[in-house]
Amino acid sequence: MVVATDSEDVLREYAACSSGYVREAVLRRCAELALPALLPEVAARLDDWVPEVRQAARDTLLRLLPLVPVDELLALAPQVLRQGRGDYASWLAEFEQLLIRRMSVDELCAAAREAEIKVARAIVSVLDTHRLLAPAALIALILARHDDIVLARRAVELCAKLAPAEQGMAYRAAARSHFGAVRTLALKALLAMPDQARTELATAALEDVQSSARQTAVGYLQANGVDVGGYYREVLAQGPHAVLRTRICLTMLASLCDRADLPLIQSFRSSEYPVLRATALALWFKLAEQDKDQIALAAMDDASPRVRKFAVQLVHRHGAYVPFAVILQRLSASDDVLFVLRLAEGNKWHWLEGVARVVLQRGVEEARRLELPAALLTWTKATDWHVNPAPEQHAFLASAPVMNVFSQLLPAQRLAFLRQQLHLD
Structure confidence by residue, pLDDT tens digits, 46-72: 777 788 878 888 878 778 777 777 777
Give yes or no for a contact between 358 and 341, defined as CB atoms under 8 angstroms apart. yes
The answer to whether position 47 is within a domain reads no
- What pLDDT is recorded for position 1? 63
**Residue 230: inside a domain:** no
Q: For 413-418, what is the mean pLDDT?
A: 89
Residue 288 and residue 281 in contact, taking contact as beta carbons nearer than 8 Å? no
pTM of the predicted model over 0.85: no
Q: Tell me how many domains the chain contains.
A: 1
- Position 237: which residue type? A
Q: Which helix (H) or strand (E) segment is 104 a member of?
A: none
Q: Answer yes or no: is 341 within a domain.
A: yes
Per-residue pLDDT, 117: 86
On whether residue 267 sits in a domain, the answer given is: no
Look at residue 424 in the predicted model and tell me its pLDDT.
Answer: 80
> Mean pLDDT of all residues in the chain?
88
Any domain includes 368: yes
The answer to the question of residue 128 being in a domain is no
pLDDT at 89: 62
What's the rounded mean pLDDT across residues 249-256?
A: 98
Residue 279 lies in a domain: no
pLDDT at 43 over 80: no
Mean pLDDT of 242-257: 97
The number of residues in the chain equals: 425
Residues spanned by the domain of 424: 323-425
Please give the pLDDT value at position 315.
96
- Other C-beta atoms closer than 10 Å to the C-beta of 3 total 10
Residues 6+ apart with CB under 8 A from 18: none
Q: Is 315 within the bounds of a domain?
A: no
129 within 8 A of 96, measured Cβ to Cβ: yes
Q: Do 58 and 87 form a contact (C-beta atoms < 8 A)? A: no
